[in-house]
Chains A and B, each alone.
Chain A
Amino acid sequence: MISVKGLHKSYGSLNILKGIDLEIEKGEVVVVIGPSGSGKSTFLRCLNLLEHPTKGEIKFEGESITDPKHNINATRQKMGMVFQQFNLFPHKTVLDNITLAPIQVKKQSKSEAEAIAMDLLRTVGLEDKKDAYPAMLSGGQKQRIAIARALAMQPHVMLFDEPTSALDPEMVGEVLDVMKKLAKEGMTMVIVTHEMGFAREVGSRILFMDGGVIVEQGTPEQLFGAPQHPRTQDFLSKVL
């Protein structure tokens, strides 16, 4: 579904990503772990071109999205993204946050978009908040709305950029529960996270990144149970 070849990203002389190759299949839940500054988030943001790769190719459903002629707006509709800082639209109600893109981009009717939005709000357990503004919500609620907003575009893959890192500890669970539900329903997901327990439980494949490359990857049992690379062993000994 996603195919990455020789991906490099640098800012001036600072090399963040130094050659990443990866195939992600439909239905996989790929969890990316690694120390701060390892390039995890940059890698994820390259997948929907929020960051433009310096070198390399990314294909999504067979189409090269790094081709300059490619219309990225069309592809982004199929790739939902959830941010560390939620990035809800503060001047719009919860319902408007969710229906804006379906109405504007997919040209859904208002009633159709609202019906889908209400379904999603029920899924994330926040249907009573439809008329609230983001400022009135807790961090955990904001992030669940942000997930609903991304899902409203009916994406084929969901990208999560440290979705629980800005949350108070007692709110992490409610967001992870929503993500678990999604994974169970077979959504293809790429998740950058520091939640090792969650990675182990939900991930179908774990990538360990450090220094701008994928150092090691495998099933949760392989990577957490018997890490092969010394850098992986060192990292896991610090965080587990």
Chain B
Amino acid sequence: MGLYSFFVENIDYYITGVKYTLLLSVVAVVLGFILGAVFALMRLSSIKVLSWIAAVYIEFLRGTPLLVQLLIIHYGLSIYGINFPPLVSGSIALFINSSAYLAEVFRAGIQGVDRGQMEAARSLGMTKGMATRHIILPQAIKAVLPAIGNEFIVIIKESSIVSIIGVMEIMYNAEVLRGSLFEPMKPLLIAAIIYFIMTFSLSKLLGVFERKLKTSD
């Protein structure tokens, strides 16, 4: 049986898998983006406690494996009576993990905006908050867009790890097919192709978006 006919025959598994992978990635991207921006602003805050909390959060999440974080959330927390369904545990692990990486990306972007921009905004009577929102963040996000896009692609790939707690995304279904049909190669090869199509189209899409944003340069 060829690769293609194997794929067509088991397409339901892959469709389910793609749905879950997309759901996980979108949740992780959106919540990770928001939380990442919040932690970046906290990290740069002049209020020491906020900056310290953000530093601990970022360093801990970047310095420990996603797999460990996932298992702590899904299995570890059960000793405190916290039992999430697999999809929820998987989403939480992915979005807090990516929020830590995105926080560092945002921080670099914010610090990369010329100092004169904040001064000009403040000299017009804007508060620090107004200046951050209207002047600093739009420029920072634009500058780090390629890095954010890169992080989104990483999330799609990393989401395969949550198959281990039984979330029915692409990798989980590939493993089901591999185990039940005694096909060592085909299910994995198809999974790899699907991941590649997803990440490659996303990176092309981001390229178009980036060029559009360049109109003011």
Do A and B make up one complex? Answer: yes
A contacts, CB < 8 Å to B: 48, 50, 73-74, 76-77, 79-81, 83, 85, 87-92, 100-101, 104-106, 133-135, 146, 149-150, 153
Partner of B114, one of A48, A87, A135, A153: A87
- Given known A-B contacts A91-B142, A133-B216, A83 and B119 have beta carbons under 8 A apart: yes
Say yes or no: A76 contacts B125, CB within 8 Å.
Answer: yes
Min distance, Cβ B95 to any Cβ of chain A, angstroms: 28
Say yes or no: B125 contacts A87, CB within 8 Å.
Answer: no
Min distance, Cβ B195 to any Cβ of chain A, angstroms: 34
Say yes or no: B130 contacts A105, CB within 8 Å.
Answer: yes
Min distance, Cβ B112 to any Cβ of chain A, angstroms: 13
B116: nearest chain-A partner, CB-CB: A87
Contact residues, B77-126 vs A (CB, 8 A): 114, 116-117, 119-126
Say yes or no: B127 contacts A73, CB within 8 Å.
Answer: yes
Partner of B123, one of A50, A88, A90, A104: A50
- Given known A-B contacts A85-B116, A104-B134, A90 and B125 have beta carbons under 8 A apart: no
- Given known A-B contacts A85-B116, A89-B117, A89-B135, A101 and B124 have beta carbons under 8 A apart: yes
Chain A neighbourhood of B116, CB < 8 A: 83, 85, 87
Contact residues, B176-217 vs A (CB, 8 A): 215-217
Say yes or no: A83 contacts B120, CB within 8 Å.
Answer: yes
Min distance, Cβ A47 to any Cβ of chain B, angstroms: 11
B contacts, CB < 8 Å to A: 114, 116-117, 119-127, 130, 134-135, 138-139, 142, 215-217
User: A150 vs B120: C-alpha distance in the bound complex, in angstroms?
Assistant: 9
Partner of B125, one of A74, A83, A92, A133: A74
Say yes or no: A91 contacts B139, CB within 8 Å.
Answer: yes
A77: nearest chain-B partner, CB-CB: B125
Say yes or no: A87 contacts B120, CB within 8 Å.
Answer: yes
Say yes or no: A91 contacts B138, CB within 8 Å.
Answer: yes
Say yes or no: A73 contacts B217, CB within 8 Å.
Answer: no
Chain B neighbourhood of A74, CB < 8 A: 125
Chain A neighbourhood of B125, CB < 8 A: 73-74, 76-77, 101, 105-106, 153
- Given known A-B contacts A85-B116, A104-B130, A133-B215, A90 and B124 have beta carbons under 8 A apart: no
Say yes or no: B138 contacts A153, CB within 8 Å.
Answer: no
Min distance, Cβ A132 to any Cβ of chain B, angstroms: 10
Partner of A149, one of B124, B127, B216: B124
Chain B neighbourhood of A149, CB < 8 A: 124
Min distance, Cβ A191 to any Cβ of chain B, angstroms: 15
User: A153 vs B124: C-alpha distance in the bound complex, in angstroms?
Assistant: 7
Among B124, B134, B138, B142, residue most surrounded by chain A Cβ atoms (within 10 Å): B124
Partner of B126, one of A91, A105, A134: A105
Chain B neighbourhood of A101, CB < 8 A: 121, 124-126
Among B116, B120, B122, residue most surrounded by chain A Cβ atoms (within 10 Å): B120
Say yes or no: A73 contacts B139, CB within 8 Å.
Answer: no
Among B119, B125, B217, residue most surrounded by chain A Cβ atoms (within 10 Å): B125
Say yes or no: A73 contacts B126, CB within 8 Å.
Answer: yes
Say yes or no: B119 contacts A87, CB within 8 Å.
Answer: yes
Min distance, Cβ A221 to any Cβ of chain B, angstroms: 33
Say yes or no: B216 contacts A105, CB within 8 Å.
Answer: no
Min distance, Cβ B210 to any Cβ of chain A, angstroms: 14
Chain A neighbourhood of B138, CB < 8 A: 91
Chain A neighbourhood of B126, CB < 8 A: 73, 101, 104-105
Known: A81-B123, A104-B134. 19 other contacts (CB 8 A): A48-B123, A50-B119, A50-B123, A73-B126, A76-B123, A81-B120, A85-B116, A89-B117, A89-B120, A89-B135, A91-B139, A101-B124, A101-B125, A104-B126, A105-B124, A105-B126, A106-B125, A134-B216, A149-B124
User: A153 vs B216: C-alpha distance in the bound complex, in angstroms?
Assistant: 25
Chain A neighbourhood of B122, CB < 8 A: 50, 73, 76
